A = this chain, B = another copy of it.
Amino acid sequence: MDNIGKILVVDDEADILEFISYNLKKEGYEVYTALNGKEALPIAKKTKPDLILLDVMMPVMDGIETCKRIKADSDFDQTYVVFLTARSEDYSEIEGLDAGADDYIAKPIKPKVLITRLNAILRRKIKEMAAPSIKVKDLFIDRESFLIYRGEQKIALARKEFELLFLLASKPGKVFTRENILEKVWGDEVLVVDRTIDVHIRKIREKLGDEYIGTVKGVGYKFEV
């Protein structure tokens, strides 16, 4: 299991803390914990987590206050904050998002849901931080503009087409299985038939030519080198 990121979990109930911590570790995350906001800040400073999971209702320093302080600190520009809120207190949802939280998850927590959401959030983050452009063969694949440059020629791809090409081009020569592609381009909550990929491949080939994407029958697709 690959190490995808660091997460700081903050909750005043020790058993919930352990429960979440256990599930995240299982998933391959590096997990830190704190029992309240006051405790959390210095830990966050030191460990620079990718994401902070923050209970709203806490003694000493509640989640909203903590979130505001975190968001005010430029050290944490790259840090996502996700609130844990009891289902009833939906008001805090709004207030929380006002405080700068990037998302929220309702208690009671189901491991599958938790993992799925966090994976999605962090995948988004990783994507944002990923190299903004790739140069392969005669192509310049540019995230900034979502355009493919071939010499002077500019070629526009639709978002999914772009993401798919970007993925393949990120490791030229490597074969990506359909499973692989669905997971990385579509995400966990995949609700598409894998044949959809074929159609996107077709459109990319139509726009760029057949020489870039190769088929490995029974396995998947790859960027030809």
Contact = CB atoms under 8 A, between A and B. Distances in A.
Contacts of A22: 68, 72
B173 A71 contact: no
Interface string A190-225: 000000000000000000000000001111001000
A1 B80 CA distance: 13
A222 B145 contact: yes
Interface in A121-166: 144-146, 158-159
Interface residues of A, number: 26
Contact of A146 (B68, B112, B158, B219): B219
A87 interface: no
Nearest 6 pairs of A and B residues by beta carbon: A159-B218, A145-B173, A144-B174, A98-B111, A146-B216, A146-B175
